[in-house]
Structure formats: structure tokens, C-alpha cells
Amino acid sequence: MSPSPSTGVELHSIAFTLNGDHRTLNIPPWVTLLDLLRDELDLTGTKKGCDHGQCGACTVLRDGKRINACLTLAVMCDGAELTTVEGLATGDELHPMQRAFIKHDAFQCGYCTPGQICSAVGLAREGRANNRDDIKELMSGNLCRCGAYTNIIAAVEEALPHSGGELGQGGAQS
Amino acid sequence: MNTFNAAVGQPLDRVDGVAKVTGKARYAGEYPEDGLLFGSVVSSTIAKGRVLDIDTREALNVPGVVLILDHRNRPRLSSYDDDYSDADSAEGSAFRPLYNDRVLYSGQPLALVVAQTLEMARYAGSLLRIRYEEEPHQTDLDAALDHAHKAPAETPKPRGDFARHFADSATQVDVTYTTPVEHHNPMEPHASTVLYKPDGSLEIHDKTQGTQNCQDYLHKIFDLPKDKIRILAAFVGGAFGSGLRPQYQLPLAVMAALALKRSVRVTLTRQQMFTFGYRPRTSQRLRLGADANGRLMAIGHDAIGQTSRFEDFTEHLVEWSGMLYRCNNVALNYQLVPLDVYTPLDMRAPGAASGVIALEGALDELACAAGIDPLQLRRVNFADSNGNEGKPYSSKALLACYDQGAERFGWSHRNPVPRSMRQGRELIGWGVAGGVWEAMQMKASAKARIDAAGKLTVSSATTDIGTGTYTVMTQIAADAAGVMPQDVTFILGDSSLPTAPLQGGSFTVSSVGSAVRQACLILRTQVLEALRRLHPEVADVPVEQIGFGDGFVHAGDQRFAIAEVVAHCEGGALEVQVDAEPSTKRSGFATATHSAVFVEVRVDEDLGTIKVSRVVSAVAAGRVINPKTAQNQLMGGVVWGLGMALQEDTLSDHTLGRFMNHSLAEYHIPVHADIGDIDAFFVEEEDDIVNDLGSKGVGEIGIVGVAAAVSNAVFHATGKRVRDFPVTLDKLLQ
């Protein structure tokens, strides 16, 4: 399970809940949550678009709050409850936000999509988006180069009221 | 006659939708393998010169580093120019990665550090000590306009007498527009995962718009047998042209894999996404002359674009000025200025997106000068044939775009006087522009196979860069074979599949879609033959009483499940492969998509901030295969147009010869909050000439004309004409 090669670097032991599963890992201190997810845990649903916190493609939920995984060192997540796009559905049953994205064709290439969806689920839990303009403003950290913004906002607007519930009940729980 | 559920024309949800919303869709840099190595590219910090030395000692001591490749120790590469050319090459000598000590541009890859982890590779790369011998460089187009040479493009010959008619025109405009360097910046950075197989063959997941283009390229530059190279691209996280040519991460990753006989992944950083192709900066002089009624008497379009020292990149920049409107006196000129930069690259609606800015901006200026409504000016000059080619359009429902777009926008309520419409401190402006893009068709092949369960599998080497290829091909195949869409699987993104052209130019539906349709129609005839063998009485049913649909052959009053017919065939399956050629009906016609774009802007009178509150885009693109995905393409194009109008601008420090804003924080693209109401829709347009599907393609047309419409609206709001794009508040306040 140790993600580090034999580099002679002191590894740090961390434990967190990831998509409902309890995980214990030994990792170098400089590994970002994003690289840990993608390169070590093969959870590539979380995307790397800029690695600088400028595009939002890596948005995940930590203790229910949306964060940029690229700006988060993995060691900062000790004890946290993490949800990635892979953990939103319950078995084959999609999360309401995922269903709304398909219905409204709220993507094209799909690369920003996991970040948009996690961001929107995080937004729903914040409870501060009261109208379409709020949603636009509060989703502006998630870039979509395909320009599917109109459809994304339509999807988020529709699913927002149904997306503020408990997290970490995803399909990975089993 | 039975009627069946047609899949084409239905707003089917994307067939790859679940994969994309659950994170299961894997992109090029996301294929795992035990022991996979990570490569990190080290880029040049000078714009021109020579590498004297690369000191790798310190970097090689970093734990986990297994190899540092540069021009001195790379695997053998071809020494012939031709071998580096590809299906989207520009004229000249294509860039050769890690070939020798020459530095041709800032950001050029000079070394690849390969390590057990990405972090170690990146850190070790920072420890390389590179000594250069610098040479003077020139990266500034505006400072080098005197060095322009004629572009090696087949620009339409002049017609009529431009000079005389321009001089004689009642109304004239003579204006110069400039457009900036822009970068594609797909959300997914370019990446290649090269999986080294035990037999020495390479299975490569690459971010590309042409799997076979990349296979050919690697075959030629490394002298590897084609059957040892398989390029896969199941999902592509946007490209917009950036994947039309093999980009350097691909040969670099292959070099490392060959040198180490191990699997290697190379992913570019966002900063490195600014170290290859881009939309070139242009300077365009437009001269328009009109008579008292606004009829165009003379059109002159003289454009200068930038290119590299090693290739002459050309795009269709000026052609549009000779084909969108009726005019008998036209002179189109196109020149290039070589600079110490990388070669430009086709970027969404290459040439049209920038060329039409100048044309449609100048036309708005002509309307103002002549005192004619800008929409009316365009109506007056409607052309039903392409003056460049002297051929009639196969269809051109542009007048319907004008009518329906104006109606939805409320254009008739426009006060023509600039600065006449305001709300509080906001100046309101309404602008219009036209758009045009070619409707091309290329050769393409497809294979269709139906099995005893009635499941249809159709395949072609094409890609789906987010355009909806998986979905629309599924719909086309379902109707042509007479099965339900849920019984169709379309496979793409694999160089071993039947030949497909690059995915670009809005010709995938036209080209691959036609091949898919033909293959499935032949499959249908084979099913019918098999049915007649099984049930000889069907041979007596008149052909007009035979129909296919919903998974059944309908023959008179009877129907037979296709699955059962196939089950009785030898091997329990039927398979067809076709090579489709462009429709022969096209030869006597010009084929193009068209649009009319209406824009409302709100400009803060004091601050100069510009907000696009409304866009109506009316598009004529023939038959729409999937209204949901097609409209999404149009809206995406509009968003690109808004970025082009107001934000996108790759800025150079010419002293360093380097792009400065190479990040998504500083290279601005539209975000959610920038987007107002976008009403993008298709007008009816029937076309049985363009191809058998009657569908013209929708990837590019959405962007064309948008930036000009925005800028025209800004003029209407403020009375200030900004001809240097993007239109930013500093230019407005000057």
C-alpha cells in the first residue's frame, strides 16, 4: 500500500475516510491530495487541469466542503472524510447532480465535469446560492473550456435543492 | 408502410454521459500500470540560440530518477524532414523534439527527466543546469511587418477591378483590425501514457484528434513498424485543434519507453500548454466600398499572420471576405512574418474566427458610414453563390438566420444612434455579425457488425473530443441498420480501427457519419438477403413494403427480429466494412454553414467594464443529428467567441521572447459569471448535396462572428471603435 518508491524519504502515516472506505497510508510529505488520488489510489475521476488552484478540475469534498485537491497536501487530510466524484453515486444509482448533468448535457469533453459536480454538491451544502446569478458567481472557480456553462448552470439549478444531503454514502462504502 | 422510431434528430442523452459524470472515463494520462515511470519536461528559457551544456549530475542523484534524456543521448530519430510531417503539417520543416542543440523558441523541450514518481521527476528537472549561447531573437509581429512574405496558400485570385471600384464607391471604409495570439488550453493538458509490451510493441494512450496521424508519425520518426504502435484515445479532454498534430509529449514519452524498455507517462504542465501551437496574431486591413444603397462594390482584405522560422503556417483567413457576400471586385492578400516562435496551429474555426472579425467589423463601420442598418446591409449583399469559386451554394439559409435571429433578439427595437440606449450608468449596445464555415467531407471508413443478439457494433478510428461523436454515430448507425440506439455500441479512438480523418474542421459527422451510414445500410441489405434465404416467401414482398426499424425487418404484414435472422447466418454475425468517399454531388457546389449573431452588451460608463448580457445565435448547418449535443456545440462556440472578444490574449515579453501569462489565472477565459443568456438555435436547412446525411457539421460555426458582434455592440453602446482585439476596458477608456 505504501505509495512511495525506495527514495529514502521519511514517510508520514495518515488515515482518512475516502468515499466511505477507511484508508491508512504512508506517504511522502510533499504529495498533494490530487496526485495521491490519481497516481497512487487510481481514482482518476479527480482531474488535474492546472495544478495551481486556477481551474477547479480537481475539486473534491473534504468534510463536506469543496476544496482544490491540487492545493491540498495529502498529509493535511489526516482524519478527514473525503468524497470524490467516484463516491457520489450509490451503487448504480447516480447522485441527483450527476443525473442532472446528463439530462442537461452539462459537459462536452467531460474533463472539468467531476470538479463541476463536486463543486456544485459542495455549493448545495453551503446553502448560500439563492438564484441563478448566485450559482454562476459561486461556481466561477470551475472553468469549462468547452463552454458548456449554460447547461451546467441549468443542471446545478435543478439539482441544487436535492444535493445538500449526507455525503460519504457512496457506492464505495461496501 | 411502417413508421419507425428515428434516432437521428432526437435529443438523445450522451451515450458516454454516465462514464463522464462518475469519473470512470479515462483520459490519456490516467492509465495505470505497475512500475509506470513519470516524465517531466524541462523547457528552454531562451528564445533563440544553442545549448552549450546540460549538467545533469545533481538531477541524476535525486532518488528515484532513472533517466535524463536530451539531444545527446536520445534514441535514434529520422534525419528526413518528410518523416516529421503529419496530416495537419504546415509547409516547411516540422519541429524535431530533442533533435539537436538548436533552440528555436522559448519553451522548447530540451530534456525529459524520468523518475519513479512525478514529484521526483519534476524536482530533478529543476536541478538541471543548462548553459546557452544566446542569439538575438524577434518575436514581435508588429515590429517585423516589413519582413512579410506571400503566404504559401491558395488564396482566391483577384476578380474584377478592386482598386477602381473602391475609389469610385459612394461609401468607403479602410480600417485595420488586429487579433492576438490565443492558446487552445483544453482543460486536459496534453499527455501520453506509453505502455511498453513484452514483445516490444507500444500501446499508447494519447491526447489526440487523430490516432492514425500519431501512429504514422511515430512509425516514421522512430522507424518502428506500424503494427508495433497502437494509439488509443477513448476520451479526449478537449482539444479545439491542439490535438491535430502529434505534440511533443508523445515522442518524448516514446523515447523514454524505448530507451528504458519500460512504460512511461509524460503529462505537460499548464505552463507547457503554452509551448506549442496557438492561434496566430494577425493584422488585417479591410477596405470596403459600397454604392448609395449599400451594395458592396469592392472588397479588399489584406492580412498578415505570424509564423515560425521553420514552418509557414497558413489558415483560411481572407477567403471569407470573397464568399460571404455578393461582390464582383475582390482582392484578397495573405502574407506571413516568420518569428522566433513555435509554429501556429489550427484553433477552433482557424482563420474564420479571426478573419471574420475584420470583415464583420468593417461591415459594421460601413453600415454606420452609409447610414444603413447593419442587418439590412447584410441582407442587401446576400450571395447565393460563392464568388471565390463561382459555384452556387448547395444551401444557404442565412436569410432565415437573419430573420429568426432578429425576431428572437428584438432587433427592430434598436435605436441606431450610438450611446442612445442606456439603463442607469450602463450603456447598452446591440450588435450583429454574420458567420461562415466550410462544410467539408473527407474520405473515411467504418466497420459495422451485428450479432445474434441483435447488438450492433460500429467502429472507426475517429475520436470524440467532446463533440458527441460517440452519441451521434450511435444514432446514425441505429437508423441506418434499423435497430434501437440502445442496441448500438460505437467504438472509436483506436488506430487499429478503420481509417478516419483527423477530427477537425467540423467534418466528422459528414465524413465518418457517412461511412457509418453506408456500412449499416449494406448490413441491412445483407440482413434482408439472409431473411429471404430463411423465409423464401419474403422474396415476394415488394421492396417498397420492406422496412427496417426498432430491431425488426418489416415485410408487408410480417415482421422478423433482426437478431433471429442474424442467428441463422454463418458464424452468427454479419459484418461490413466500407470506405466512403465524399459525395459526388458536391462537385458543382460550394458548401458552407452560416450564422447570424446578435449581441447585447452593457458597458459601465465610468469604468469601461463590458458585460455581454444576451447572445442570440441563429445557425444554418443542414440537418441536425442530435439537437442536444449540437446546440451544446453552438453555445460552446459562442462562449469561445466571447473569450475572443473580451478576454483571450497571450501576451509576450518581446525582450525575453516569451509568453508571460502562461497560466489559467492570467490567460483569461470566460467563467460561469461571464455568461449571460445564450440563445443558440438552428434554422431549418435542407441539403441533399452536401452528403447523404444532409448534415454540415457544427463544431466551428458557433464561434465565427461572435467576437465581431460583441465589438460592434460595444461601439453601439459607447461610440468608440476598438479594432485591437480583445476589447478590454483599458482600450475603451483610452
Residue-wise pLDDT for B77-107, tens only, equals 999 999 999 999 999 999 999 999 999 999 9
Higher pLDDT, B422 or A166: B422
Contacts of B465 in chain A (CB under 8 A): 109
Res A3 pLDDT > 70: no
Report angle CA B449, B579, B478 to the nearest 5 degrees: 40
- A90: nearest CA partner in chain B: B22
Which three-class secondary structure state does DSSP give residue B726? coil
Cross-chain Cβ contact B63/A35 below 8 Å? no
Q: Is B26 part of the contact surface with chain A (CB cutoff 8 Å)?
A: yes
Give the Cα separation of B352 and B354 in Å (integer): 5
In one-letter notation, the amino acid at residue B493 is G
Q: Where are the beta strands (DSSP E) in B512-651?
A: 546-549, 552-555, 558-561, 573-580, 592-604, 610-620
CB B430 within 8 A of CB B710: no
pLDDT for B188 equals 98
Pairing of strands B202-206, B229-232: parallel
C-alpha cell at A102: 446528463
pLDDT tens across B431-474, in order?
Answer: 999 999 999 999 999 999 999 999 999 999 999 999 999 999 99
Give the Cα separation of B532 and B379 in Å (integer): 56
CB B455 within 8 A of CB B572: no
**What are the backbone dihedrals phi and psi of residue A149, each rounded to the nearest 5 degrees, phi first?**
-55, -45
Nearest CA to CA, how far is A111 from chain B (Å)?
5
Q: Helix H segments across B40-104? A: 57-60
How many contacts (CB atoms, under 8 Å) link A and B? 185
Provide the CA B301 distance to its chain's centre, in angstroms.
Answer: 24
How is residue B155 annotated by DSSP?
A: P
Average pLDDT in the A39-50 region? 97
List, in order, residues 6 or more apart from B516 with CB less than 8 Å away: B446, B448, B458, B460, B473, B476, B477, B480, B490
Category of B136 on φ-ψ map: left (φ > 0), alpha (ψ -120 to 50) or beta? beta
Res A69 pLDDT > 70: yes
Rg (CA), chain A: 16
pLDDT for A167 equals 64
Give the Cα separation of B291 and A102 in Å (integer): 52
CA torsion angle for B59, B63, B64, B67 (degrees, to 10)? 30
Closest in A7, A84, A140 to B120, CB measured: A7
pLDDT for A2 equals 44
Q: What is the mean pLDDT of chain B?
A: 97
Buried b (16+ CB within 10 A) or exposed e, B657-670: bbbebbbbeebbbb
B344, B389, B371, B501: which is closest to B159 by C-alpha?
B389
User: For chain A, how many residues are written?
Assistant: 174
Contacts of B122 in chain A (CB under 8 A): none
- B187: nearest CA partner in chain A: A49
List, in order, residues 6 or more apart from B77 with CB less than 8 Å away: B96, B98, B99, B221, B222, B251
CB B166 within 8 A of CB B300: yes
Catalytic residues of B: 700
Res A170 pLDDT > 50: no
CB A63 within 8 A of CB A125: no
CB A135 within 8 A of CB A98: no
Cross-chain Cβ contact A111/B467 below 8 Å? no
What pairs with residue B229 in β-bridges? B202
pTM: 0.97
pLDDT tens across B210-240, in order?
Answer: 999 999 999 999 999 999 999 999 999 999 9
Helix axes A149-159, B627-646, angle to 10 degrees: 120
C-alpha cell at A42: 487510481
Res B323 pLDDT > 60: yes
pLDDT for B734 equals 87
Residues 552-591 of B with CB under 8 A from A: none
Res B374 pLDDT > 60: yes
What pairs with residue B178 in β-bridges? B283, B724
Closest in A28, A109, A136 to B673, CB measured: A136
Contacts of A149 in chain B (CB under 8 A): 635, 639, 670-672, 675
Give the Cα separation of B396 and B381 in Å (integer): 13
Nearest CA to CA, how far is B19 from chain A (Å)?
9
C-alpha cell at B396: 444557404
Give the Cα separation of B474 and B501 in Å (integer): 18
Pairing of strands B546-549, B552-555: antiparallel
Give the Cα separation of B100 and B368 in Å (integer): 55
Average pLDDT in the B259-263 region? 98
pLDDT tens across B120-148, in order?
Answer: 999 999 999 999 999 999 999 999 999 99
CA distances from A108 to B15, B467, B486, B507, B650 (A): 12, 6, 20, 17, 25
Average pLDDT in the B62-74 region? 97
pLDDT tens across B530-561, in order?
Answer: 999 999 999 999 999 999 999 999 999 999 99
Cross-chain Cβ contact B675/A140 below 8 Å? no
Q: What sign for the dihedral angle of Cα B450, B451, B454, B457?
A: negative
Cross-chain Cβ contact B632/A148 below 8 Å? yes
List, in order, residues 6 or more apart from A163 with CB less than 8 Å away: A95, A96, A97, A120, A121, A124, A125
Res A5 pLDDT > 60: no
Cross-chain Cβ contact A85/B22 below 8 Å? yes
Provide the CA B668 distance to its chain's centre, in angstroms.
Answer: 20
A35, A45, A19: which is closest to B117 by C-alpha?
A35
Give the Cα separation of B361 and B368 in Å (integer): 11
Site of grid cell 454515430: B473
Closest in B22, B239, B632 to A98, CB measured: B22
pLDDT for B677 equals 98
List, in order, residues 6 or more apart from A43 with CB less than 8 Å away: A18, A19, A37, A84, A86, B23
Cross-chain Cβ contact B20/A110 below 8 Å? yes
C-alpha cell at B266: 509524460
- State yes or no: cis peptide before B726, omega within 30 of 0: yes
Largest Cα separation within chain A, whole Å, is 53
What pairs with residue B385 in β-bridges? B392
CA distances from B607 to A111, B180, B275, B418, B733 (A): 35, 23, 35, 18, 8
- Give the confidence band of A7 by pLDDT, cuts at 50, 70, 90: low
CB A66 within 8 A of CB A117: no
